[in-house]
Structure 1
Amino acid sequence: MNLYKKLAIQTIIYSIGFALPKIINYVFLKFFTIVFKREEFSLYTDMYALSFIVIGFLSFGLENTYFRFLYKKNCNKEIVFSTGVIIQLLISSFFLIISIFLTKNLSSIAGYYHHPEYFLMFFLIIFFDTICILPMAWLRVNDKPIQYSIINIVNVLVQSFLIIFLFLYSKNSLFFSIFFMRWINSFTDKIGYIFFANMISSLINLFLIFPIFLKKVTIKKFNKDLAIKMLSYGIPIMIGTISFSINENLDKILIKRCISDEINGAYSACYKIASFMSLYIKVFRLGIEPFFFKKSKDSDAIYYYEEIIYIFILFGLIFYVLICGNINMFMRFLIEKKYHIAIPIIPIIMMGNLFLGIYTNLSIFYKIIDKPIIGTYISLIGMLITFLFNVIFIFISTNNSFMIPAWGTFTSYGSMLIVLYIWGKKFFLQFCNKKITNIIIHFIFALFIVFMIKREIKLNFLLQILYLIIILFLERNRLKNLIK
């Protein structure tokens, strides 16, 4: 089967499992912005922002480590998987035990003295989710995209049902409903309903992948020497992941604490619209990352990397233009009007996320040559830039200064991409000058179209059609290869 066609089919299947649940979450975004005041929405997003940083630490870079060690010489796939899962289980269990004992202290430090139950539920969510990381990666490696998608869809359907029940149908006269709601309300509030639903869905996710544990993981297959090597490889990736989590979430954490929950609620809601680009990046990555590692030893590997990254950038820019060209429509359907004050951050954050997506695809080179420390250094550079912008933001924090963290995200990811490319040219990345020139032209053209759409709103639709026609003409040969 043609490389592009196989890649496209695999990516589409993964898209169903990943994108569909995300789309459902965007439907709930409208519901949450109606039900919650902006300050309440801020609490909801703040808890997830804090948890993502913790998950970055607990993951220990083991997903990428697992992919890398699978294709090393003399490595038994079952031993690699068992060793990785046992490491993850030990780390996550230790975290859960310590966190439960420190729940009150940690919730008080974070400003949630009256809601320690938020933290307890999140500790359980983080525990369930982290120990599911490698089994879900195992499904990807073993070409089981349908099973992968079913698990994700079941997960989001359970969470959705619980949220709908707790918010809309809990007031019926059934004894079970009354008893259940009394129990829920005895320890949390309506914001906690979301966390409770997430906790239950994460637990069910663990049950669904549990057969993989039973069939594939045994203590006998744990290799101590391999575990040390995997940790040594994964720790630099973990540091990079933590840096990424800080880049993504520090702005929301600080806006809440330096300006107000009201402003943070609006900023966080609009940030979710900008994260459409992250959805595109993740879907593409799910299909492409295992392929990258499989092709790493082939003689024509560089050619395929170049072509796939070029296609990623091309479709990413098309996606950027279409979203930016229809922001008002998305905002009207997905977010209540009281949150619209932060709309200006969307194009900035989206382009920053596209930079991050390109960086993620290019970063495969240092994983393949077993130098993940390169990614650590670059991530720390990005984190430093984020800190600098947020320090400036803290000193001049006003209702309008939330634009500073948005530009910080853009600058951080853009700088990381430039540093990575310069660094990578020494090792692996040898893009021809023609492709680099074409990529730069595509960026300039896409930004020009978005600028014109903003100035000439009446020509919005025509400008988007013109853009698509020109791209189709310029890249007609490459696009034909996708459908051969």
Structure 2
Amino acid sequence: MYKKLAIQTIIYSIGFIFPRIINYAFLKFFTAFFKREEFSLYTDMYALSFMVIGFLSFGLENTYFRFLYKKNSNQEIVFSTGVIIQLLISSFFLIIFINLTRYLSSIAGYHNHPEYFIMFFLIIFFDTICVLPMAWLRANDKPFQYSIISIVNILIQSFLIIYLFINSNNTHGQKTCLFFIFKWVSSFTDKIGYIFFANMISSLGNLFLILPILLKKVTIRKFDKILAINMLNYGIPIMIGTIAFSINENLDKILIKRWVSDEINGSYSACYKIATFMSLYIRIFRLGIEPFFFKKSKDADAIYYYEEITYMFILFGLIFYVLVCGNINIFMKFLIDEKYHIANPIIPIIMMGNLFLGVYTNLSIFYKIIDKPIIGSYISLIGVLITFLFNSIFIFISDNSFMIPAWGTLTSYGSMLIVLYIWGKKQFFKFCNKKIRNIIMHFLFAIFIVFMIKKKLEFSLLLQLLYLIIVSFLEKKRFMNLIK
């Protein structure tokens, strides 16, 4: 079981990590090429779009996995019903929002760039349609196809960005088809818009790549109205949780841009991207483990596997946390331009917050498999309230310190994790006191090591090595079992 899970996770990791490596390479290029206020515009558009994507998702990815593995479920009917729901929602969104482009761009402060919003509406439309076909690949154990599509997608986007930026300084290029495309793109947008255009084309390319799945597996006659209602009832609470997550992740950047300055937001957003290294670890883990969680839910030993895998997730997450924070200066040097470094104190805080979120995501399996996703909605709303509280302090009381929103992210996700654990322990989790003590000890030890590294930077490598030796000794038996 572990062997197959590990192999699939590695393959998914390739398809997931390679595009992120490319994105981090572009992060260095963008932070060097753009002024901080220009980079702020770039990150702000993505922050705004994530809010919309959270709504449009309707929690259908998790819903698909849940209904797929229910007793007596028909896989083709579940898939067709989910895709048709998603297509109807996305099409309705596109028609309405395209007609409101100028109004919405003016409200957001982009009245000179309505084309940004048109491109993002199309990106969101294409991407949401692709969600369930990509989930179908995961559910049907096709990690190679999943990874190939992801890699092709990022290569298309990268090629277009490089080509458009190279030609931005070469207005008399050869009269090729690509050159005329560049001239056309330049006629309606600027260099920031080049990135959005490249993203839009790669998202369209992604849609073409998964089109065979849609044509082969989706038919209107397989649409089940009763199933559709049940899927929506199950998915809407998850959607609320997704929107809450989008608010927790993006409200700080949206407010810093509009309340402090684009320069500060540019620095904050760039350093925040370094902190999202932890999100990479979480996402890689989820790609391989989430379908397994739902498949295993029928077995008598399901709880044991959930707890053991969650324990290992925390253990490796903390090792990852210490290694990244211990070498943060190296990452900063290679990934973002020096003028953005003023916000680097947020990185350990945001990373730990993201680890809390990852543990929360693992533990949230309990309310999904008992068909009570509304529990997640309630807990997510608690997180949002805490986020609003910290950001209100940031706006009305503070001296505009960007550390307050960072601490808000950590507190929000930490509170959500504690509430979920207390709630789930009464109904689902069986973590023994020894495991809980070990988990708390590992968290405190990792935080202590990172604190010491920050105080004694010259001993960074020694402290990291000491941490790895001690953890390996304490968890020797568990590591040996994992290797076997």
Structure-1 separation of matches of 2:167 and 2:284: 33
Q: Which residue of 2 aligns with 1:97?
A: 95
Structure-2 separation of matches of 1:455 and 1:298: 48
Q: Which residue of 1 aligns with 2:468?
A: 468
| Structure 2 unaligned residues grouped into runs of 5+ | none
Structure 1 residue 398, shift from structure 2 partner = 4.0
Alignment of 1:437-456 (within 5 A): 437-456=437-456
**Alignment deviations for residues 306-359 of structure 1 (CA, whole Å, 9 cap, x no partner):** 110000000000000000000100000000000000000000000000000000
Q: Which residue of 2 aligns with 1:359?
A: 360
Structure-1 separation of matches of 2:153 and 2:110: 28
Q: Which residue of 1 aligns with 2:396?
A: 395
Contact 1:236 1:375 in 2 (8 A): yes
SS in 2 for 1:426: helix
Contact 2:356 2:417 in 1 (8 A): yes
One-letter amino acid of the structure 2 residue matched with residue 87 of structure 1: I
Alignment of 1:347-426 (within 5 A): 347-396=348-397, 398=399, 401-426=401-426
Structure-2 separation of matches of 1:40 and 1:396: 28
**Alignment deviations for residues 397-439 of structure 1 (CA, whole Å, 9 cap, x no partner):** 545x111000000000000000000000121111111111110
Alignment of 1:37-436 (within 5 A): 37-169=35-167, 171=170, 173-176=173-176, 177-396=178-397, 398=399, 401-436=401-436
Structure 1 residue 453, shift from structure 2 partner = 0.6
Number of equivalent positions: 481
Q: Which residue of 2 aligns with 1:12?
A: 10
One-letter amino acid of the structure 2 residue matched with residue 372 of structure 1: P
Structure 1 residue 184, shift from structure 2 partner = 1.1
Structure-1 separation of matches of 2:162 and 2:297: 46
**Alignment deviations for residues 265-311 of structure 1 (CA, whole Å, 9 cap, x no partner):** 00000000000000000000000000000110111111101110000
Residue 36 in structure 1 maps to residue 29 in structure 2 = no
SS in 1 for 2:110: coil
**Alignment deviations for residues 211-268 of structure 1 (CA, whole Å, 9 cap, x no partner):** 0001100000000000000000000000000000000000000000000000000000
Structure 1 residue 455, shift from structure 2 partner = 1.0
SS in 2 for 1:425: helix
Structure 1 residue 173, shift from structure 2 partner = 2.3
One-letter amino acid of the structure 2 residue matched with residue 339 of structure 1: Y
Structure 1 residue 178, shift from structure 2 partner = 4.1
Structure 1 residue 75, shift from structure 2 partner = 1.5
SS in 2 for 1:298: coil
Structure-2 separation of matches of 1:288 and 1:87: 26
One-letter amino acid of the structure 1 residue matched with residue 14 of structure 2: I
SS in 1 for 2:391: helix
SS in 2 for 1:73: coil
Structure 1 residue 5, shift from structure 2 partner = 2.0
Contact 1:4 1:483 in 2 (8 A): no
Structure-1 separation of matches of 2:351 and 2:322: 10
One-letter amino acid of the structure 2 residue matched with residue 334 of structure 1: L
**Alignment deviations for residues 175-195 of structure 1 (CA, whole Å, 9 cap, x no partner):** 125433221111000000000
TM-score, with normalisation over the residues of structure 2?
A: 0.98
| Structure 1 unaligned residues grouped into runs of 5+ | none
Q: Which residue of 2 aligns with 1:481?
A: 481
Structure-1 separation of matches of 2:5 and 2:405: 36
One-letter amino acid of the structure 1 residue matched with residue 460 of structure 2: N
Structure-2 separation of matches of 1:80 and 1:481: 37
Structure 1 residue 71, shift from structure 2 partner = 1.1
One-letter amino acid of the structure 2 residue matched with residue 63 of structure 1: E
Structure-1 separation of matches of 2:114 and 2:239: 27
Contact 1:5 1:482 in 2 (8 A): no
**Alignment deviations for residues 429-472 of structure 1 (CA, whole Å, 9 cap, x no partner):** 11111111110110111011111111111111011011111111
Structure-2 separation of matches of 1:450 and 1:350: 12
Structure-2 separation of matches of 1:55 and 1:14: 23
Structure 1 residue 74, shift from structure 2 partner = 2.2
Structure-1 separation of matches of 2:29 and 2:383: 34
One-letter amino acid of the structure 1 residue matched with residue 317 of structure 2: G
SS in 1 for 2:73: coil
One-letter amino acid of the structure 2 residue matched with residue 141 of structure 1: A
Structure-2 separation of matches of 1:192 and 1:482: 47
**Alignment deviations for residues 45-94 of structure 1 (CA, whole Å, 9 cap, x no partner):** 00000000100000000000000001112221100000000000000000
Query: Residues 178 and 205 (structure 1 numbering): CA distance in 2 closer, same or farther, change over 3 Å?
Result: closer
Structure-2 separation of matches of 1:105 and 1:288: 42
One-letter amino acid of the structure 1 residue matched with residue 255 of structure 2: L
Q: State percent identity of aligned pairs.
A: 81
One-letter amino acid of the structure 1 residue matched with residue 341 of structure 2: H
Structure-1 separation of matches of 2:345 and 2:130: 37
Structure-2 separation of matches of 1:426 and 1:459: 44
RMSD of aligned Cα (Å): 0.9
SS in 2 for 1:132: helix
Contact 2:167 2:173 in 1 (8 A): no
Structure-1 separation of matches of 2:46 and 2:474: 42
Contact 2:267 2:342 in 1 (8 A): yes
- Segment drifting more, 472-481 vs 433-442: 472-481
Contact 1:251 1:390 in 2 (8 A): yes
**Alignment deviations for residues 81-117 of structure 1 (CA, whole Å, 9 cap, x no partner):** 0000000000000000001100000000100000000
SS in 1 for 2:426: coil
